[in-house]
A and B are shown apart, each in its own frame.
Chain A
Amino acid sequence: MNHPVLLDPAALLATTPAGEDPASTFIRLLTVFLLAMWVGFEVITKVPQRLHTPLTSGSNAISGVTVVGALVVAGGLTSGFGSLFGLLAVFLAMINVAGGFVVTHRMLEMFNPKKK
């Protein structure tokens, strides 16, 4: 098959290039969104039922990635409601991140008991 190269990964990941109109930004992000959804479907259908709980808690931890957004928003502001919201978001998202990864690890340890 001969697919033309439609997407330049570097361009996909670049934060708003100068002069990019909002519609293009939106479509660029939508492209990333749909491709990542697809990857997600492909990868996750292969996870066996027995590991569904760690999968749920692990993906839960990853959904805490919103902490990145929270840091950028909160760090850029120095006063007002905006920074308060941002800091609260950092706090809540970090509970999600740390809690998710630690509990997943704890569960997976149980699935792999140490050989005595």
Chain B
Amino acid sequence: MSSQAWINLAYLTASMLFIVAFKLMSGPRTAVRGNYLGAAGMAIAILAACFEQPVAASVAKNGIWPLVLLAVFAAAGGGIGATMARRWPMTGMPQMVALLNGFGGAASMLVAAAELTSTHTVARFGEGAAQAAAQTSLGSWTQFAIAIGLACLIGSLTLTGSLVAFAKLQELPRFKKPWDDPNRQWFNLGLGIAAVFLLWGMFSNPQLLTFLLLVLVAAGLGATLTLPIGGADMPVVICLLNSYSGLAAAAAGFVIDNSVLVIAGSLVGASGLILTAIMCKAMNRSLVGVLFGGLGTTVSVDADEVYAGKIKAAETEELAMVLEQADRVVIVPGYGLAVAQAQHAVRELADVLEARGTTVEYAIHPVAGRMPGHMNVLLAEADIEYEKLREMDDINPTFPETDVAIVIGANDVVNPAARTDPNSPIAGMPILDVDKAQTVIVVKRSLSPGFAGIPNPLFAADNTLMYFADGKKALIDLTAAIARD
């Protein structure tokens, strides 16, 4: 077998390992092994890349130092990545994933840039005029150029989109408010048209200048598309950017004719697209609506009308008594739980309840939090058993038999208006039916609306007790009150 055949065999092995890694993600125990296999696949692919013909030729000509240089840059990146991953707080996972997505996208764009400049160099100074002519003739360039153009467009867009998403999730002051300039769609349209023209320019005659302009326009577009998107829509953005980073890698694979890049890239692309679809479905919104619409909050429901005289605020002792009498308690966490960093406090409350023989389970809405599965990770960090975290469709039928539902930091995902009011902006969105529980305790600082900007009739319901307090403090006080009795 030729050495290229061995390299391709290594790439094939890596690709298979990636597929198995995704396959093993179907359960929490097998997923650990899956992650190892994915990393092994990556190691094999990286090693194989070091034997590729261009690298080998360079080593033959210049000795070992090209490899040393590669190793230094790879080790620096790997070291930074691993350290970051070990130190990053679990509550900040969405930010970290956004950041890593951005780096991946940027890397794919740079691969395309490097390939483009190197081909130019060959064409200009290269091995004979005939080859140079062959390199630049339109026919042989087109497919290559399409791939370079796409890798550049998607990669740059992913970079800036991810950086903006990171800034929003990190709640940097300048990014707190979504960009709501009424002319922003025209802005996007202009950049979109410019991107299409530049792509077309790249397809017909790939030039470095066109490439650089495309980088700028795509980068601008990534920012202007992400800036208007509000916090609660972030899960969709994260999934979409994840998908893009995969597609950018696949496009880079087309550029350098490398199958492992194409396979791994498209696997990730598919994964991101599926998650995007799931998130949109869980919000009952279209992808176009999330990306361009904002929430059509023209329907204004008067909060005073909904709440007037119907809110029952309760004190710690009263709530502790309600909980002590419950046989079955369901805890419904939302983004507020992450903000208050109250995951361990939840666990402690559950512990005292369980010690009294109460069944405690957790109801997780698919879009609770800022990324898919966000709440599961937080609760898992507090050592809450995986089996107790129940998905929406699974737990909804059990609410009528639930004595107490405790809502912590969630709002729109438990708003019964989604079920009852066809004019509500969230009408038709699947929600957790907590209102069907015997008693609902809502832990909240105030009656301020959630992301959808609408009042929540749940707060005014007969079976609801409001507990106005900071999430973490509220839980600690409750736990102490129950433990005292």
Chain A residues with CB under 8 Å of chain B are 9-10, 12-16, 21-23, 25-26, 29, 32-34, 36-41, 43-78, 80-83, 85-113
B41 / chain A contacts, CB cutoff of 8 Å: 62
- Nearest CB on B from A76, distance (A): 3
7 nearest interchain CB pairs? A76-B54, A40-B270, A94-B77, A52-B373, A75-B55, A98-B81, A99-B81
A33 / chain B contacts, CB cutoff of 8 Å: 250, 254, 262-263, 265-266
Interface contact B107-A89, CB-CB below 8 Å: yes
Chain B residues with CB under 8 Å of chain A are 4-5, 7-8, 11-12, 15, 18-19, 21-23, 25-29, 31-32, 34-36, 38-39, 41-42, 45-46, 48-50, 52-55, 57-59, 61-62, 66-67, 69-70, 73-82, 84-86, 88, 90, 93, 96-97, 100-101, 103-104, 106-108, 110-111, 113-115, 117-118, 121, 139-144, 146-147, 238-239, 242, 245-246, 248-250, 252-272, 274-275, 278, 364, 366, 371-374, 376-377, 380-381, 383, 385-386, 389, 391
A60 / chain B contacts, CB cutoff of 8 Å: 97, 100-101, 104, 242, 245, 268
The listed residue (A10, A46, A82, A90) touching B74 by CB distance below 8 A is A90
17 further A-B contacts with Cβ under 8 Å, apart from A71-B74, A85-B114, A86-B110, are A22-B139, A33-B266, A37-B270, A54-B373, A62-B21, A66-B252, A68-B261, A69-B108, A69-B253, A72-B258, A76-B52, A87-B73, A89-B110, A95-B103, A101-B85, A110-B377, A112-B28
Complex Cα gap A12–B53 (Å):
19
Q: Which residue of B lies closest to A97 (CB)?
A: B42
A91 / chain B contacts, CB cutoff of 8 Å: 73-74, 76-77
A51 / chain B contacts, CB cutoff of 8 Å: 25-28, 31, 373, 376
Interface contact B104-A96, CB-CB below 8 Å: yes
Interface contact A92-B107, CB-CB below 8 Å: yes
- Nearest CB on A from B347, distance (A): 12
Total CB contacts across the A-B interface at under 8 A: 430
Interface contact A68-B107, CB-CB below 8 Å: no
A26 / chain B contacts, CB cutoff of 8 Å: 143, 146-147, 254
Known contacts A87-B69, A108-B31; decide if A23 and B85 are in contact (CB<8 Å): no
Known contacts A76-B55, A101-B35, A101-B39; decide if A63 and B82 are in contact (CB<8 Å): no
Known contacts A15-B258, A68-B261; decide if A23 and B391 are in contact (CB<8 Å): no
Known contacts A36-B263, A75-B55, A91-B74; decide if A62 and B81 are in contact (CB<8 Å): no
B32 / chain A contacts, CB cutoff of 8 Å: 105, 108-109, 112
Complex Cα gap A73–B142 (Å):
20
The prevalent SS among residues of B at the interface is helix
Interface contact B81-A36, CB-CB below 8 Å: no
The listed residue (A49, A108, A113) touching B391 by CB distance below 8 A is A49
A89 / chain B contacts, CB cutoff of 8 Å: 106-108, 110-111, 114
Complex Cα gap A13–B262 (Å):
10
Q: Which residue of B lies closest to A10 (CB)?
A: B8
Interface contact B96-A99, CB-CB below 8 Å: yes
Interface contact A67-B46, CB-CB below 8 Å: yes
Complex Cα gap A106–B81 (Å):
13
- Nearest CB on A from B475, distance (A): 20
Interface contact B267-A39, CB-CB below 8 Å: yes
What are 17 residue pairs bridging A and B, where the CB atoms are less than 8 Å apart in the complex?
Answer: A32-B263, A36-B266, A36-B267, A51-B27, A56-B239, A57-B96, A58-B25, A59-B22, A76-B53, A83-B114, A88-B73, A93-B107, A94-B74, A95-B81, A101-B39, A106-B86, A107-B377
Interface contact A65-B25, CB-CB below 8 Å: no
Complex Cα gap A43–B278 (Å):
15
Q: Which residue of A lies closest to B11 (CB)?
A: A13
